[in-house]
Structure 1
Amino acid sequence: MEKRLTRSELVFSMGFLFMLVVAVATFFYGVKIGAARTEAKYEPMKLLQSDVAGNAVAYQQQDLVSFYHTVYLPNREFQLQWFNVMDKLRSGQATDPVSSFKELAKLAKKQYSAASSSSVPTSSPLLNQSQLNVLKSLKLFEQAASRFASTADNKPSKELVVEIGLEAYYRKAVQHNLLAQQQYYASMLKWGATVEAAIPSEFNTPASESIKDWNSQPLLVKNKIIADQLVELQQLVNFYPHDLSTRVDELIASGEASRLKIKSVPALIELLLGTKAVRAGDFASGKTMLYDQELLPQLPFFFPENQ
C-alpha cells in the first residue's frame, strides 16, 4: 500500500526544492554577474588594442627601411641587370642576346616572388601602391624579356634596342616602375612631415618649377620633384632621383645654369639627361657639401658611407 507523506514531510520537501531552485538561480546569476564584471574589466584593454590597430602610425622610418630591403631592392637589382644588357646591346658587345633575355625573364620572375612576399603596412597606402606597381612592372618586364628571347636571334643589336624601346610590354613596365619610384619618394615626404613641421606631407610639382622656388625646398621635396619629372618624361634611368637632384643643385651652385640662361628646373633636368651628365653615386659625392644638414630617412642609398 502506497505510503502518503505527512504534512511536515511535505512542507520539508517543498522547502528543500525551493531552496534548491534558489541556489541554482543564485549560481547562474553569480556567473552572469562575474562574466559581466570580467568583461568590464578587460573592455578598456580591448578598446585600446582596437584603437592601436586602427590608428597605426603611417609612414614610419622602419616601414621605409623595410620597404627598401624587401621591395625596392629586388626591383633595383633587376633594373641594374636590365641596364647592363641594354648597354651591351648598344655597344655591340652582346654576344648572346637570346640567353641574356632568358636570364632577364628568370630574374624578373625571381624578383617578383621576392617583392610579392613582403608585407607592407596598410596604414601607409603609398607604400602599398608602390609595391603593386613594382610587381606589375616586374611581371611586364618578364613578359617583354621572354618575347625578345624568342625573337632576338640573328637580329643586329641596334635593331633590337630600337624594337625594345617600342615594345608595348616594355613601355608599360617602365611606366609602372616610375610610378612605384614616385610613390616611394612621396612616402619619404610623408615621413619627413612627421619629423619636421617645415616639410610638407605632400607636394604637387608645378608645370615649371623655377630655380628660385627649387632653391627654397628641402631635399625630400627636391627628390619628389625629380621623381615626378621622370614619370612625366617616362625615362627609366640607372641612377637615383637624388643623384639627379644633386646634379641640378651643382649646376645652379656653379653658376652654370645662370650662364646658360636656364630659369626652370625641368629645363635643367632635360639638359642633364640629354647630355648624360648624371651618374649613380653623384649624391654620395656631393652629400657632405650640399646636404649636410638635410633631414633624410636612414635608407642605405642616402647613407652609402655606412655600408
Structure 2
Amino acid sequence: MKRWPTACAPWPPTVSAADAPDSEAPAGEVAEAVVAFLADAERAGRLSARSLDAYRRDLKRLVAWAGRRGIDRLDQLDLHALRGFAAAEMRAGLDPRTIQRRLSAVRKWFGWLLREGRVAGNPAADLRAPRVRRKLPTTLDPDQVLKLLELPGTGPLDVRDRALMELCYSSGLRVSELADARWSRLDEREGLLRVIGKGNKERIVPVGRHALTALAAWRPVHLERTGGGQDIIFTTRTGTPLSVRSIQQRITQRAREQGLDQHVHPHQLRHSFASHILESSGDLRAVQELLGHANLTTTQIYTHLDFQHLAEVYDRTHPRARGRR
C-alpha cells in the first residue's frame, strides 16, 4: 500500500516550534502525524486560515492529552482512548459545542491518515459527541407585544417605527427580510407581502390589519421623503434604505422606551409570532410555511416553547406543583 504521495513531505516530518504541541506532550508519532496533516492541508489549500488555526488548536489538545497518558503511537488511539479524550474535555467543563468541534477535527485527521495509509481504520468515525442542549429562543407574551406596539407619537420616526414593528410581528419576518421589504411586493387589498428569504427563496406572507393600517400611515411620509423613487419600505430621514443594524437598534430602543424590562430584538418578535400562532392553532406545518423554514425540524423548536408555557402554567396553578407553597 502506498504510504505517502510524492507531493507530501517524507515521514516523519520535522516538528516546528510554531506547530509543536504543548510541552507536556512528547513529539512522538501522534504529534508528528498532526503536524503532517496540518502541513498537507495548508499546502493543498483545502482549509481557510481560520479553519486551519482551529484544527491546530483542537488537535494539539488531543496530542497533549495523549502525551499525559503515555500514548505516542497512532495504533494506541482506538475508540476507547478517544472516548477518554472526549470525557476528559467534558470534565474540564468545556461547552458541548466546543467538544463537538474538537471531535470533528479528530475525525478529519483520522480520515486523512486513513487515506494516506497510516492507519487501518478510522476509530473516530463511531465517536459520538455530547449532545448540545438546544437553547430555546426567548419570546414576548401577547401583553408585552401589545405594550411594545402601542407606540405613542405622530412624528415621522414614530410613524415609521410603528409600521416597522407591526410588520415584523404581524408577518414573522427575519430582520433581513424586513430591511428588504418593498412597496411593489405589498398587496394591500389582499393583505399579502411577497418576501425574498434565505437562499433567495420567495414566499407569500399575510399582513395583519393593524400592520396594514400602520403601513398606510407611513406611506405618504415615505413618499414625501423619497419623492416616490424608493421602493424599499423602511428608510432613514434622508430617504436611504434602513440597514439591518439600524432596525435592530430602533426596536431595542423602542422597547426600552416602552418600559419592557428585557432586551428586545427583531428575531424575538419573529419567535413571538411563531409561538403565538402555534399556541392558538397547533398547526406546525402552517408555522413552517409562514416562517419560510426549509425543514420542519427547524420549526419544531416552537413546540418546546409551547410546552414550556404549559409547564409554567402548571407550576403556577396546580396544587401539587413544585413552585407552590
TM-score (norm 2): 0.22
Bigger fraction of residues in helix: 1
Larger RCO, structures 1/2 (Cα 8 Å, 6+ apart): 1
TM-score by length of 1: 0.23
- Structure with higher Rg: it is 1
